[in-house]
């Protein structure tokens, strides 16, 4: 059936499918927050179905993501639902092999080249040790659903075609999703504080960027670029985030990133507790030179 389809048609369709996958995940994200529908049951049913389409177990991801909202920007509560971020002091005190591992895991080629499929196709197939029974069951149900759907599509399309196309779509969508999460919490003047000084409102307004995207990309990402509004009130559905942003003056001071400016965040690797900024690895040489001059 698909043997005669031109590659020049398939490739654009792969990119289009990946874009729709990003939107599906954003709507799934709303369901996890109970904001897409008024009915919690509707959120659970639709969220579970959408999660199947994006290889993500609904209840398990909802549980992990709720931890992210409770601990984002808290230096004493890192480790679940966030991107591995060290302070300058932690990096300097680490063993050489840990420094090397950190550099590898923070490199763009790993973040957006290796981790996308590793996260969505491998990690999400297993439940966390801290997960409850409902969360574990959702992982099992999602895995079975993925297997059934994959077998069905493989039999219709042919296994080789299905696997190649599915991997390409999953990679592009997952890499885009990780990029969105990255730029929303990894910019120069982002908010990080120790637990005793951590503040929910501050982390929402200073720890989340406003990713100002073209209208078409806003639609495909379901307005997730208004991440500061979302973190301040996660129960606001995606279709109201833009209106909320425009209606409240307190959002005017939020860090705004555009597509061109967002790529500068790729060079940020560590949190400097003294300057309260994300810095790159080159900063360590400057720091070392300054200490030598002070001696």
Neighbours of 96 (CB within 10 A): 7
pTM of the predicted model as reported, rounded to 2 decimal places: 0.92
Percent of the chain with pLDDT over 70: 96
Question: Span 123-146, mean pLDDT?
Answer: 96
Q: Considering only CA atoms, which of 33, 63, 65, 31 is closest in space to residue 50?
A: 31
Residues 6+ apart with CB under 8 A from 71: 77, 78, 80, 81, 82
Residue 214 DSSP one-character state: -
Angstrom distance (rounded) from CA 270 to CA 85? 6
pLDDT value of residue 6: 78
Cα separation, 251 vs 257, whole angstroms: 14
- Residue 286's pLDDT is 79
DSSP tag of 120 = I
How far is Cα 72 from Cα 48, in angstroms, rounded to an integer? Answer: 25
Q: How confident is the model at residue 23 (pLDDT cuts 50, 70, 90)?
A: very high
Using an 8 Å Cβ cutoff, are 273 and 89 in contact?
yes
Beta carbons within 10 angstroms of residue 21's beta carbon: 22
What are the tens digits of pLDDT across the range 144-193?
A: 999 999 999 999 999 999 999 999 999 999 999 999 999 999 999 999 99
Helix (H) or strand (E) holding 256: strand 256-257
Residue 48 has pLDDT above 60, yes or no: yes
190-206 tens-digit pLDDT: 999 999 999 999 999 99
Nearest-angstrom CA–CA distance, 81 and 68: 5
Boundaries of every domain in the chain: 7-294
């Amino acid at each position: 059936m698909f043997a005669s389809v031109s590659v020049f048609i398939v490739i654009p369709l792969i990119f289009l499918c990946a874009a729709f996958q990003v939107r599906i995940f954003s709507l799934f994200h709303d369901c996890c927050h109970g904001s897409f529908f008024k009915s919690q049951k509707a959120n659970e049913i639709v969220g579970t179905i959408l999660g199947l389409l994006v290889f993500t177990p609904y209840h398990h991801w909802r549980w992990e993501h709720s931890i992210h909202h409770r601990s984002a920007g808290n230096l004493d509560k890192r480790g679940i639902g966030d991107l591995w971020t060290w302070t300058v002091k932690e990096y300097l005190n680490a063993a050489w092999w840990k420094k090397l591992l950190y550099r590898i895991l923070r490199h763009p080629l790993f973040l957006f080249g290796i981790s996308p499929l590793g996260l969505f196709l491998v990690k999400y197939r297993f439940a966390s040790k801290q997960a409850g029974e409902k969360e574990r069951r959702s992982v099992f149900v999602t895995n079975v659903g993925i297997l059934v759907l994959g077998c069905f599509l493989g039999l219709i399309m042919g296994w080789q075609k299905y696997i190649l196309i599915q991997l390409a779509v999953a990679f592009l969508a997952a890499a885009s999703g990780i990029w969105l999460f990255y730029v929303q919490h990894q910019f120069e003047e982002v908010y990080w504080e120790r637990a005793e000084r951590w503040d929910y409102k501050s982390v929402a307004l200073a720890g989340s960027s406003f990713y100002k995207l073209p209208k078409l990309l806003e639609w495909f990402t379901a307005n997730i670029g208004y991440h500061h509004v979302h973190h301040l009130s996660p129960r606001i559905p995606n279709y109201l985030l833009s209106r909320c942003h425009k209606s409240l003056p307190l959002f005017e001071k939020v860090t705004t990133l555009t597509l061109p400016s967002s790529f500068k965040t790729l060079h940020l690797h560590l949190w400097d507790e003294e300057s309260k900024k994300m810095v790159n690895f080159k900063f360590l040489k400057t720091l070392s030179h300054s200490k030598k001059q002070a001696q």
